[in-house]
């Protein structure tokens, strides 16, 4: 897995803003453009347009603030098999910007699925002289795996995830052992919003309507970071809303929408159903790790043979321990 965490020479371009609703796959000379080369810019445009509409902004207002510093995307039919990008969001209100870095890989093999990603950001209040050098940015990133990539030199991890293939978890007995974490905190999400949009006054706790609007703004600021790398994640802020994960890329390896919940919780929101979702998510991860949903764990004649494989190993017993609420797993 680690050998895929690398970066190549930069590719600079801004996100195109078109007045037409129809996109063209031809460049200015009439030649066709490879889908791999336009997936990111098209995805950013779509995701950012949704946020502009929510904020009642003129179309293109936020899109014009985004520059793609680097993009290396490989599609598997229409969806990315792997993608890595460095994107810069210039603040429309302050002389600052935020760099967002995203690396993702997902590929189905004969008996297993390779999947990992890491998403992080760095607020640049006083841009250094090498601020536009992608190779310089690459040197700031960790290369020890998804959880290490955005843990150094002022970078802040937003979220990461992967299927753990250690301890012999491969081949026909492979299981979806999901590891992941949202690493946001409320002070950090406030910094993101205020870097982009200026000071955000916190209302009185007694004003429930104003407080909800305040927290929605914080959530929207984090969603903008995701949108800048082509990820549309709708995060529920009230009990009558639902989390809607990205369509083209997988940020959660099982059915639990822990990324949406983690973003919401870091912005000070907790839904009535969140505690139960945490419990069910932990249970699902334990069952998947034990292979309850893996038909290859059966013997070749389709029946359990009563061997010691039916008894939990020491590792599996450890996995029965309670998982903390969105503290990583």
Q: Taking CA 254 as the corner, what is the angle to CA 253 and CA 255, rounded to the nearest 5 degrees?
A: 135
List pLDDT tens digits, range 115-155. Answer: 999 999 999 988 766 666 788 889 999 988 999 999 999 99
pLDDT of 312 strictly over 60? no
pLDDT of 157 strictly over 80? yes
pTM above 0.85, yes or no: no
pLDDT at res. 327: 59
pLDDT of 111 strictly over 70? yes
pLDDT at res. 96: 92
Q: Taking CA 63 as the corner, what is the angle to CA 182 and CA 138, rounded to the nearest 5 degrees?
A: 50
Domain extents for the chain? 2-19+32-278
pLDDT of 50 strictly over 50? yes
List pLDDT tens digits, range 219-245. Answer: 999 999 999 999 999 999 999 999 999
List pLDDT tens digits, range 62-74. Answer: 999 999 999 999 9
List pLDDT tens digits, range 38-48. Answer: 999 999 999 99
pLDDT at res. 170: 83
Tokens of 230: 């082509």
Mean pLDDT of the chain, nearest integer: 84
Q: Higher confidence at residue 198 or residue 130?
A: 198
- The mean pLDDT value for 295-310 works out to 41
pLDDT at res. 155: 97
pLDDT at res. 70: 95
Q: Higher confidence at residue 39 or residue 293?
A: 39
Lowest mean pLDDT among 26-35, 50-59, 226-235: 26-35
List pLDDT tens digits, range 242-289. Answer: 999 999 899 999 999 999 999 999 999 999 999 999 999 999 999 998
pLDDT at res. 326: 53
pLDDT range class, residue 302, cuts 50, 70, 90? very low
Tokens of 211: 């407080």
pLDDT of 320 strictly over 60? no
Q: Give the CA dihedral 225, 281, 149, 77, nearest 10 degrees.
A: -70
List pLDDT tens digits, range 70-95. Answer: 999 999 888 899 999 999 999 998 88
pLDDT at res. 292: 65
C-beta of residue 227 within 8 angstroms of C-beta of residue 194:
no
Tokens of 259: 């990324």
Per residue, the 3-state secondary structure of the chain, as one string, reads: CHHHCCCCCCCCEECCCCCCCCCCCECCCCCECCHHHHHHHHHHHHHHHHHHHHCCCCCCCCHHHEEEEEEEEEEECCEEEEEEEEEEEECCCCCCEEEEEEEEEEEECCCCEEEEEEEEEEEECCCCCCCCCHHHHHHHCCCCCCCCCCCCCCCEEEEEEEECCCCCCCHHHCCCCEEEEECCCHHHHHHHHHHHHCCCCCCCCCCHHHHHHHHHHHHHHHHHHHHCCCCCCECCCCCCCCCECCCCCCCCCCCCCHHHHHHHHHCCCCCCCHHHHHHHHHHHHHHHHHCCCCHHHCCCCCCCCCCHHHCCCHHHHHCCCCCCCCCCC
């Amino acid at each position: 897995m680690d050998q895929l965490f690398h970066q190549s020479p930069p590719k600079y371009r801004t996100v195109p803003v078109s007045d037409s609703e129809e996109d063209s796959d031809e460049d200015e000379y009439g030649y066709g453009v490879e889908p791999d080369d336009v997936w990111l810019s098209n995805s950013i445009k779509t995701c950012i347009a949704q946020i502009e509409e929510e904020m009642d902004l003129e179309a293109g207002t936020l899109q014009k603030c985004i520059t793609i510093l680097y993009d290396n995307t490989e599609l598997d039919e229409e969806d990315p098999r792997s993608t890595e990008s460095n994107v810069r969001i210039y603040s429309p209100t302050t002389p600052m910007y935020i760099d967002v870095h995203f690396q993702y890989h997902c590929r189905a093999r004969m008996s297993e699925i390779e999947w990992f990603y890491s998403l992080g950001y760095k607020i640049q209040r006083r841009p250094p002289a090498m601020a536009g050098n992608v190779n310089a940015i690459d040197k700031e990133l960790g290369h020890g795996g998804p959880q290490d990539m955005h843990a150094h030199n002022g970078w802040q991890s937003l979220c990461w995830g992967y299927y753990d293939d250690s301890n012999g978890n491969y081949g026909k007995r492979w299981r979806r052992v999901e590891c992941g974490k949202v690493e946001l905190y409320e002070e950090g999400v406030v910094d993101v919003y205020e870097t982009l949009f200026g000071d955000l006054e916190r209302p009185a706790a007694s004003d429930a309507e104003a407080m909800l609007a305040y927290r929605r703004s914080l959530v929207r600021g984090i969603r903008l970071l995701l949108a800048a790398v082509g990820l549309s994640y709708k995060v529920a802020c009230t009990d009558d809303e639902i989390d809607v994960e990205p369509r083209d890329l997988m940020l959660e390896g099982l059915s639990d929408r822990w990324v949406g919940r983690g973003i919401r919780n870091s912005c000070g929101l907790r839904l009535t159903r969140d505690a139960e979702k945490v419990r069910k998510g932990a249970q699902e991860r334990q069952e998947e790790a034990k292979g309850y949903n893996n038909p290859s764990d059966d013997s070749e004649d389709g029946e359990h043979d009563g061997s010691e494989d039916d008894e939990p190993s020491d590792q599996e017993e450890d996995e029965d321990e309670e998982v903390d609420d969105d503290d990583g797993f």
